[in-house]
Amino acid sequence: MLSGWGNYPRVEARLLMARGRDEARAAVSSEASLIARGNGRSYGDAALNPNAVLSMLRSSRMIAFDEESGRLTCEAGVMLADILDVFVPRGWFAPVTPGTKFVTVGGMIASDVHGKNHHGAGSFTEHVDSFDLALADGQVVTCSRSENADLFAATCGGMGLTGTIVSATFRLIRVESPYIRQETRQAANLAEAMALLDQSASSTYSVAWIDCLSTGARMGRSVIFCGEHALPHELPSPPPKADTRTVTMPFHAPAMLLNRWSVSAFNEFYYRRNPAGTAIIPYGPYFYPLDAILAWNRLYGRAGFVQYQCVLPKAAAAEGMATLLRRIAASGKGSFLAVLKQFGATNPHGMLSFPMEGYTLALDFAVDRKTLALLGELDAITGDHGGRIYLAKDACSRPDLLRRGYPRLDEFLAVRHKVDPDNKFSSLLSQRLGL
Chain residues in the site for another protein (CB under 8 A): 17, 20, 61-65, 82, 86
CB of 258 to another protein, least distance (A): 27
Q: Which is nearer to another protein, 75 or 112 (CB)?
A: 75
Neighbours of 22 (CB within 10 A): 12
For residue 289, cis peptide bond before it (omega within 30 degrees of 0): no
CB of 78 to another protein, least distance (A): 9
Pinpoint the alpha helices (H) of 130-222: 149-155, 190-199
CB of 296 to another protein, least distance (A): 19
CB of 227 to another protein, least distance (A): 27
Question: In which region does residue 301 sit, left (phi positive, over 0), alpha (psi from -120 to 50) or beta (all else)?
Answer: left
Q: Which is nearer to another protein, 92 or 336 (CB)?
A: 92
Using CA of residue 75, residue 309, residue 311, residue 98, what is the dihedral sign? negative
Q: Which is nearer to another protein, 165 or 210 (CB)?
A: 165
Q: Which is nearer to another protein, 16 or 381 (CB)?
A: 16
CB of 290 to another protein, least distance (A): 22
Q: Which is nearer to another protein, 75 or 211 (CB)?
A: 75
Q: Which is nearer to another protein, 66 or 400 (CB)?
A: 66
Q: Which is nearer to another protein, 31 or 45 (CB)?
A: 31
CB of 57 to another protein, least distance (A): 12
Using CA of residue 80, residue 84, residue 85, residue 87, what is the dihedral sign? positive
In angstroms, the CA 277 to CA 297 distance is 30
DSSP 3-state assignment of 357?
A: coil
Q: Is 375 exposed, middle or buried (0-12, 13-18, 19+ CB in 10 A)?
A: buried
Q: Which residues contact 214 (CB under 8 A, 6 or more apart)?
A: 220, 221, 264, 267, 329
Q: Which is nearer to another protein, 15 or 373 (CB)?
A: 15
3-state secondary structure 321-343: HHHHHHHHHHHCCCCCCCEEEEE
Selection from 188, 283, 313, 299 nearest residue 248 by Cα = 299
Residue pair 419/413 in contact by the 8 Å Cβ criterion:
no
CB of 61 to another protein, least distance (A): 4
CB of 238 to another protein, least distance (A): 24
